[in-house]
A and B are shown apart, each in its own frame.
Chain A
Amino acid sequence: MSRVRDYGTNTYPQNGFNHHILSVLVQNRPGVLARVSGLFARRGYNIFSLAVAPAEQEGMSRITIVVDLDSAPLEQITKQLFKLIDVIKISELDPAQSVERELMIATVKANGALRVELQTLTQIFEGKILAVSEDNLTLSIEGHPDKLDDFEELLDSHGIVELQRTGRVALPKLDRSSRLRVAN
């Protein structure tokens, strides 16, 4: 509770978590997700989180994979991934050089006075209240995954009934030159 964090600087204090983000552009074809996840399973690497959705180009999807690995096996896994026929491009996003976002929705116990406290907490975290029942609230919050971690920790003390996070999505941070390119 006493942790103070600047969500803009991307520090990762979690102990022993060697976190890498792979952004994988794939042809959006049947079975492509199974091919990608099957490869991780086959080579014995664990996927921490995974988010898939159609990308900007038609017929393509972007998969954002967060893995907990040392760099050496990561190089091997990206090379193996690239051998999949449906994989077009793989970028490893450096956490310091990328923007990351995640969405979380959670139903928490909210009786009596707790309800106001939760409402305040949600306001502080710039979250939203999506649904209300006699005993529970369903909240949503969007932001940097670390911010969601903190919010989740705070909610935990109130009693989480159900919780779902999307897994992180990420894109490279724009530098000045790329900002100019976008402007043009």
Chain B
Amino acid sequence: MTEQSTDTPAAAPQYVEGERITGAQALIRSLEMEGVDTMFGYPGGCILPAYDPMLDSPIRHVLVRHEQGAGHMAEGYAHVTGRPGVAMVTSGPAATNLVTPLMDAFMDSIPMVAITGQVPTAAIGSDAFQECDTVGITRSCTKHNELVMTSQGLPMAIRQAFHIATTGRPGPTLVDVPKDVLVSEMEWYWPTDEEVLASLPGYRPNMKGHPRMIKEAAKLILDSERPVIYAGGGILKARAAEALARLVELTGIHVVTTLMARGAFPDDHELNLGMPGMHGNATAVTAMQRADLLVALGSRFDDRITGKVDAFAPQAKVIHVDIDPAEQGKVRKPDVPIVGDARLVIEEIIDEIKSLRAAGVTQADTRAWKSKVSGWQEQFPMTYQQSQPGAALKPQYCIEQLRDLAPDKTIVASGVGQHQMFASQYWHFNDPYTWVNSGGLGTMGFSIPAAIGAKAAMPDRTVWAIDGDGCFQMTAQELVTATLEGLPIKVALLNNSYLGMVRQWQEMFYDERYSSVFLDSAALPDFVMMAESMGCAAIRVESPEEVGPAIEKANSINDRPVVVEFRTEAAEGVFPMVPAGASNDDVILHPTQQDRKGGLA
């Protein structure tokens, strides 16, 4: 069964078919027709023709300071809206600067459309100025890419790019447009849905689950005494958070939400065990290990979740729901594979459970399991020790304060490293699409541009970027973009002067031999001066009693971006931790809990 819509927005502008316009005009019109309201970009030689009609277009163009920023902004926009983010840059170095965000979006299944300029068709292959093989370079970091060789082909290429980026398992697509294709004329047309589908005979994502598999899944769920729902990023991609909540209400099954699924199920719900995986909490990790059934919904058994695969959830049967057939059996062989859209499949499973119950089938007794799980939750909560007077701040404390003082539905974007794990562990995500992070690729420097993209999409929301001193120095120049474009994000910079996660690994696994990990960021740069030079308000915080007031002050500033630099403790580690390649049974708890670890047996 396939169900497809190419989703042309109802309010698309009306243009006259057959009108003679340039390829550049056709490109911008096509973006308008796809419902693009905001795009992120940077002009240059080969893409120049496309920037002229931008002046007459209602599309907002956010002028970035580095093409990588444009890519991550497009991702941030897509994370919080579910609509494809659009980045437009020129050829050569601009296109190669997009490679990191494209791969990031590919790993995290983020819908994104990249438009790159290319040297004129006659010059392709001649090593012309700013030429690179963009489609070749981006082939393995896009869901699909296309070099458009004629102006007449532009509308179809754009429609295909949006259709492919947003349907099935979402992902990034790229359209490479030579300069002469932008300059020469074409007769305007807009392909119909049927024409788009006919042009892609090899692309028909499966949406609905197989009825026999749905039946088996429902039976298995009712039969299991120790079931756990393993919710992944696919829940958010499929807009399935509400369906998931109904499934949980119906069955009373515990849920773990992966790093990519934070917010897909409310953290304040008693059945949410929190994040599993390498830095997941002890209960989430252990519940998966001891489960007799894992209901994997839009999750992909990433190595950060499973630990040592052979030792992962050894007694569990697996129901694996994923829209991507290649995820079935890639890591763990499922007992019930279901290829389909998470929302549709969850709804089908709910209906099946209801009809089984109506036919008198009862659910297995899960009370013993539930009391065991509550016991773990009581004994092994997330914990850290408050800093001694005069010592550096604890990063966890800063994040707790940020969380408690944040307005409702605040969006949090994070970089990659310790601060990312602390943010995921200590924030309470109660709404979907409020957590923006780089999960699969682990791209340092993601948070500031991603937060800017999120703010552009949701200007009325508070957007906090939680960043580290390493990440901040990779992409901080985009704060200029934020100031000049009127996108007042807030940055919580947890400055511990180190690459904290690398330092933690060197401490634990390399005998405390610290190699190339000390950034000395308490000395340089002066983050307050740096932020102020980019038009931001900036506050430095060094003691616990300053934390709350500084955050309140930051929350009250809305006319420009704010950077709050927290001087944090370098020796603080992220716990719990499952060392890379170890079994989840060998989770290392916080030092204050490790001696009680037997309680997890």
Contacts and interface: CB of A to CB of B under 8 A. Distances in A.
B348 interface: no
A148 B326 CA distance: 36
B139 A34 contact: yes
A80 interface: yes
B203 to A, nearest CB: 5
A111 interface: no
Nearest to A77: B326
Contact of A85 (B135, B203, B325, B329): B203
Interface string A41-83: 0100000000000000000000000000000000110011011
Interface string B320-360: 00001110111000000000000000000000000000000
Interface in A17-60: 26-27, 30-31, 34-35, 38-39, 42
B160 to A, nearest CB: 8
A74 to B, nearest CB: 12
A79 B135 contact: no
A39 B136 CA distance: 12
Contact of B202 (A30, A34, A86): A86
Nearest to B199: A27
In this complex, the interface size class of chain B, counting residues with CB under 8 Å from chain A, is 10 to 19
Given A27-B201, A30-B147, A88-B201, A83 B139 contact: no
Contact of B326 (A38, A79, A85, A86): A79
A85 B140 contact: no
A80 B164 CA distance: 16
B389 to A, nearest CB: 54
B65 interface: no
Interface string B22-33: 000000000000
Contact of B140 (A26, A38, A75, A83): A38
B461 interface: no
Contacts of A38: 139-140
A84 interface: yes
B250 interface: no
B55 to A, nearest CB: 33
Interface in B485-512: none
Contacts of B136: 31, 34
Interface string A79-104: 11011111110000000000000000
Contacts of B201: 27, 88
A85 B200 contact: yes
B234 to A, nearest CB: 15
B215 interface: no
B144 interface: yes
A174 to B, nearest CB: 26
Contacts of B326: 76, 79-80, 82-83
Contacts of A87: 202
Contacts of A26: 202
B200 A75 contact: no
Contacts of B135: 31
Given A35-B139, A76-B330, 7 more contacts: A31-B136, A34-B136, A76-B326, A80-B326, A83-B326, A84-B202, A85-B143
Interface of A: 26-27, 30-31, 34-35, 38-39, 42, 75-76, 79-80, 82-88
Interface of B: 135-136, 139-140, 143-144, 147, 164, 200-203, 324-326, 328-330
7 contacts: A35-B139, A39-B140, A79-B328, A82-B325, A84-B202, A85-B200, A88-B201
